[in-house]
C-alpha cells in the first residue's frame, strides 16, 4: 500500500461516523476473523472482521472493526495503578499467606485478570462516563525464593474493582481513560473472586463473587485470603477472622452525581458460585449463573422494581424432553424462601456457622446405621472453594434454619429440596428483551450432564447423549420467558419473565479430521469452544460469545445472529495464548457510536498452557505480555 492510500485509509477510519438511527437498515452481518496461523498471531490480539450493513434499498456499507486497548494491568493512570490489590485501609498488600504447599509470594500485586465491565453514564450529549472493571484474581506471582517456579495465586488474594473515568472523542468516538480509582468495598469486608457482571436496567453495575468459600471447611480453618484484607491473619471466624458466609454474593456499584462510587452486597439474592446476575426488563427478575460442577440454576424475583434488597429465591428442576444435540427440557421452579438482605446480613454478623445450619453424615455412616441416619438426605453438589470437591454427603436441616440454609447455603438447600444439581460450568447469562429469550452458557457439558456418567449422584435429571468429546466443547442454551408460571408448590410466580423451557442453541464440537489449522485445538477451530462470557445486542439482534477454553489454544469472541438462526457463530476476535475473553458489554448507542467492551484476561498464563507442548508453554508463552488488557471493539455506528 502506498503512503497516499494509507493516509486516506487512516483518515476514513478516524472521521466521525454518521449514526444509522434514521437509516432504513435491513440487516447487519459480520465477516470472519481468521484463526491464528503464525506464532506472531498466536501471541497477539487482533480482529480482521467487518460489519456489513445492508440497507432496504439493497445497498451495502462495510465498517471495519478495531480492537482498542484502554489500559493494561499495573498501568498507572492518575493516582492509581490498574488491578492493585489492597487491604481494607487501601494499602497495597505486600505478601500472601502461605498456600497449601507452604509457598509465600511477595507483593505488591497487580491482578492480570480483568473480568466484568460496565460502562456507566453513556447519555446522549455527554462525553464522560465511568467504566467499572472487576479483577477476578491474580493469576500468578514470582516466588519469594529466586529461581523457584511462580506461585499460582487463585483465591489467595482479595480482589478489586477499578473505576475508570472515560472520555469520548466528539469527532471520532474513540475512548480514552483519563483517571483511575479503586472502588472501596471495606464496609462489606472486601471482595472474593468477582467474576462476570452486567449493567442493570437502572444503570448500575451488578457483579458477583464466584466459587464461594466452603463454610463447612472454613468453620475451623482461617479464611486467609480475606484475612489479608481485614488484617486478621491466622484467625478463624470464631476468633475474629473473616467469616466465609460474608462472601459469595451479588454486589452492586453505583455512581453519584459527583462521580463517587458506592458498593453494596445483596445478601437476599442467595449465596452461590456467582458467575453473574442478569436483570430482566421488569427490573425485578434476575437469573444467575452458578459456576462449577454439580451446580444449580437460580432465579431471584425482587419485591420492588429496581431494588435487589428483598425478594423470593427459586431453584430449577430440569424436566427432560430431548437428550440429543445438547438437550431440551421444561423448567419447574422450587421456592427456596423469601428474605430481606438485612435479616440475612444479621445472621452473618451474629457469627452463624455451617454446623448451626446442618447436621452431616457420611455415606458410610448411613449405610452402617440406617436407623440412626434415616432422616438424612443425600446431596451431591459443588461445595465451594476449599480442599473438598463435589461429593456425596448426607444432610439434615436443623430446626428453625430453613431461611439460613436458603440464603447462606443456597445450593445445598436447593439440592435437599429436589432441585437439579447436575449443571456443569454454568457461566454467562444474558437476555433478548424483544423475543423474551434467556441465553445461558454451559462452558463444559460433561460428567453429571452426560448419560451414564452420573456415578453416585442421587439425582439424574440430565441425561444428554452424544460423543463426550463434542459435548466437552460446551454449548449455549436458549430459554423461553413468559408469565403465568407457578412454582412447585402451586403458587403463581410474580414475574412475566419466568423461564419455562430451555434447549441448546449453539454447540461446540471436537476437531474434525483434516482441519488444516489450529493444530493443537481439541475442539473445532471454526466453532465455539467452552463459551463463558455472553452479551446480547438488541440493536443488532446478535449474541456475542467469549471463550474460556483449554480446547482452543487461542480463545475467540464470536457473533451469532439470533434472528437468522445461522448455522454457526462468526469469529470476530482472537486473544493471545493462555488468555480468556472476558468483560463483554454491549453499548448500543453512545452519541451515535456502538461499542463492544471486552477484556483479555491473564494472557500467557502458565496454568492455562500447562497441557500444551514445551514449545508452547515454556517458549511461546513467555513471549506474551502477561498483563491483562481492558479494551473494546469499535468501528460500527449506532443502528436502530
pLDDT at 568: 85
Name the CA dihedral angle for 344, 348, 353, 354, rounded to a multiple of 10 degrees. Answer: 40
What residues contact 478, with CB distance under 8 A and at least 6 apart? 437, 438, 439, 440, 502, 503, 504, 505
pLDDT at 6: 33
Residues 624-637, mean pLDDT to the nearest whole number: 94
pLDDT at 366: 94
pLDDT at 590: 97
- Nearest CA to 578 among 558, 538, 550, 618? 550
pLDDT band at 20 (very low <50, low <70, confident <90, very high): very low
What residues contact 8, with CB distance under 8 A and at least 6 apart? none
pLDDT at 146: 53
pLDDT band at 104 (very low <50, low <70, confident <90, very high): confident
CA distances, 612 to each of 251, 264, 550, 620 (Å): 37, 41, 9, 11
Q: Which of 287-301, 306-320, 552-566 has the lowest mean pLDDT?
A: 552-566
Q: What is the pLDDT of residues 205-227, one digit of tens each?
A: 999 999 999 999 999 999 999 99
Contact indicator for 505, 528 with CB cutoff of 8 Å? no
Locus of grid cell 447462606: 408
Decide which of 540 and 567 is more confident.
540
Residue 474 has pLDDT above 70, yes or no: yes
Residue 391 has pLDDT above 90, yes or no: no
What residues contact 83, with CB distance under 8 A and at least 6 apart? 73, 74, 110, 111, 112, 113, 114, 135, 138, 160, 162, 628
Q: What is the pLDDT of residues 576-594, one digit of tens each?
A: 999 999 999 999 999 999 9
pLDDT at 607: 86
- Nearest CA to 493 among 342, 340, 331? 331
Locus of grid cell 492509581: 80
Residues 175-188, mean pLDDT to the nearest whole number: 97
User: What percent of the chain stands above pLDDT 90?
Assistant: 86
Beta bridge partners of 286: 279, 300
Give the DSSP letter of residue 42.
Answer: H
Decide which of 4 and 567 is more confident.
567
pLDDT band at 26 (very low <50, low <70, confident <90, very high): confident
pLDDT at 15: 34
Q: Which of 16-20, 200-204, 287-291, 476-480 has the lowest mean pLDDT?
A: 16-20
Q: What is the pLDDT of residues 278-308, one digit of tens each?
A: 999 999 999 999 999 999 999 999 999 999 9
pLDDT band at 152 (very low <50, low <70, confident <90, very high): confident
Decide which of 343 and 516 is more confident.
343
Residue 274 has pLDDT above 80, yes or no: yes
580 in helix, strand or coil? strand
- Nearest CA to 90 among 75, 108, 77? 108
pLDDT at 367: 92
pLDDT at 639: 87
pLDDT at 144: 54
Q: What is the pLDDT of residues 440-462, one digit of tens each?
A: 999 999 999 999 998 889 999 99
Beta bridge partners of 240: none
Neighbours of 297 (CB within 10 A): 27
Helix H or strand E encompassing 4: helix 3-14
Q: What is the pLDDT of residues 336-355, one digit of tens each?
A: 999 999 999 999 999 999 99
Residue 43 has pLDDT above 80, yes or no: yes
Residue 142 has pLDDT above 70, yes or no: no
Residues 365-387, mean pLDDT to the nearest whole number: 93
Amino acid at each position: 500500500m502506498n503512503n497516499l492510500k494509507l493516509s486516506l485509509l487512516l483518515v476514513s477510519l478516524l472521521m466521525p461516523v454518521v449514526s444509522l438511527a434514521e437509516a432504513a437498515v435491513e440487516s447487519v452481518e459480520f465477516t470472519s476473523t481468521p484463526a491464528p496461523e503464525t506464532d506472531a498471531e498466536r501471541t497477539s490480539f487482533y480482529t480482521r472482521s467487518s460489519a456489513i450493513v445492508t440497507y432496504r434499498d439493497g445497498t451495502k456499507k462495510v465498517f471495519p472493526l478495531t480492537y482498542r486497548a484502554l489500559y493494561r494491568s499495573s498501568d498507572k493512570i492518575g493516582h492509581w495503578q490498574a488491578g492493585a490489590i489492597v487491604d481494607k485501609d487501601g494499602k497495597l498488600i505486600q505478601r500472601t499467606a502461605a498456600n497449601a504447599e507452604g509457598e509465600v509470594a511477595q507483593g505488591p500485586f497487580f491482578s492480570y485478570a480483568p473480568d466484568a465491565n460496565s460502562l456507566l453514564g453513556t447519555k446522549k450529549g455527554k462525553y464522560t462516563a465511568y467504566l467499572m472493571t472487576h479483577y477476578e484474581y491474580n493469576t500468578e506471582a514470582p516466588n519469594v525464593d529466586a529461581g523457584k517456579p511462580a506461585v499460582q495465586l487463585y483465591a489467595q488474594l482479595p480482589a478489586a474493582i477499578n473505576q475508570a473515568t472515560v472520555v469520548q472523542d466528539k469527532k471520532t468516538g474513540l475512548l480514552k481513560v483519563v483517571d483511575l480509582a479503586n472502588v472501596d468495598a471495606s464496609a462489606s469486608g472486601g471482595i472474593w473472586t468477582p467474576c462476570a457482571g452486567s449493567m442493570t436496567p437502572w444503570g448500575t453495575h451488578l457483579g458477583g463473587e464466584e466459587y464461594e468459600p466452603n463454610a463447612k471447611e472454613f468453620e475451623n480453618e482461617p479464611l486467609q485470603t480475606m484475612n489479608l484484607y481485614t488484617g486478621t491473619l491466622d484467625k478463624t471466624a470464631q476468633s475474629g477472622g473473616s467469616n466465609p458466609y460474608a462472601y459469595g454474593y451479588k454486589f452492586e456499584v453505583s455512581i453519584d452525581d459527583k462521580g463517587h462510587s458506592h458498593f453494596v452486597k445483596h445478601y437476599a439474592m442467595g449465596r452461590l458460585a456467582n458467575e453473574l446476575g442478569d436483570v430482566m426488563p421488569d427490573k425485578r427478575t434476575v437469573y444467575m449463573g452458578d459456576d462449577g460442577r454439580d451446580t444449580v440454576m437460580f432465579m431471584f424475583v425482587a419485591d420492588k422494581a429496581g431494588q435487589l434488597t428483598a425478594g423470593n429465591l427459586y431453584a430449577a428442576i430440569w424436566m427432560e424432553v430431548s437428550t440429543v444435540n445438547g438437550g431440551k427440557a421444561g423448567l419447574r421452579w422450587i421456592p427456596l424462601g423469601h428474605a430481606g438482605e438485612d435479616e440475612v446480613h444479621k445472621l452473618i454478623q451474629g457469627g452463624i456457622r455451617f454446623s448451626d445450619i446442618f447436621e452431616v453424615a457420611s455415606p458410610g455412616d448411613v449405610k452402617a446405621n440406617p436407623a440412626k441416619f434415616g432422616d438424612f438426605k443425600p446431596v451431591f453438589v459443588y461445595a465451594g472453594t476449599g480442599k473438598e470437591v463435589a461429593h456425596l454427603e448426607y444432610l439434615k436441616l436443623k430446626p428453625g434454619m430453613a431461611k439460613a440454609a436458603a440464603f447462606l447455603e443456597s445450593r445445598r438447600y436447593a439440592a435437599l429440596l429436589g432441585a437439579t444439581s447436575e449443571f456443569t460450568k454454568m457461566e454467562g447469562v444474558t437476555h433478548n428483551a424483544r423475543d423474551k429469550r434467556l441465553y445461558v452458557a454451559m462452558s463444559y457439558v460433561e460428567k453429571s450432564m452426560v448419560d451414564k456418567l452420573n456415578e453416585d449422584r442421587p439425582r439424574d435429571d440430565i441425561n444428554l447423549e452424544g460423543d463426550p468429546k463434542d459435548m466437552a466443547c460446551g454449548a449455549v442454551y436458549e430459554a423461553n420467558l413468559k408469565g403465568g408460571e407457578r412454582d412447585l408448590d402451586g403458587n403463581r410466580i410474580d414475574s412475566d419473565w419466568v423461564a419455562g423451557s430451555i434447549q441448546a442453541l449453539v454447540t461446540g464440537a471436537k476437531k474434525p479430521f483434516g482441519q488444516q489449522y489450529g493444530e493443537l485445538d481439541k475442539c473445532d477451530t471454526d466453532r465455539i469452544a467452552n463459551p463463558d462470557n455472553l452479551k446480547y445486542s438488541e440493536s443488532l439482534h446478535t449474541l456475542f460469545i467469549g471463550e474460556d477454553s483449554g480446547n482452543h489454544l487461542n480463545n475467540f469472541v464470536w457473533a451469532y445472529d439470533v434472528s437468522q438462526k445461522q448455522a454457526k457463530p462468526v469469529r470476530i476476535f482472537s486473544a493471545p495464548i493462555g488468555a480468556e475473553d472476558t468483560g463483554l458489554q454491549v453499548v448500543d448507542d453512545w452519541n451515535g457510536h456502538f461499542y463492544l467492551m471486552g477484556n483479555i484476561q491473564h494472557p500467557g498464563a502458565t496454568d492455562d498452557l500447562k497441557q500444551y507442548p514445551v514449545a508452547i508453554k515454556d517458549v511461546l508463552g513467555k513471549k506474551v505480555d502477561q498483563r491483562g488488557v481492558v479494551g473494546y471493539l469499535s468501528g460500527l455506528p449506532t443502528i436502530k
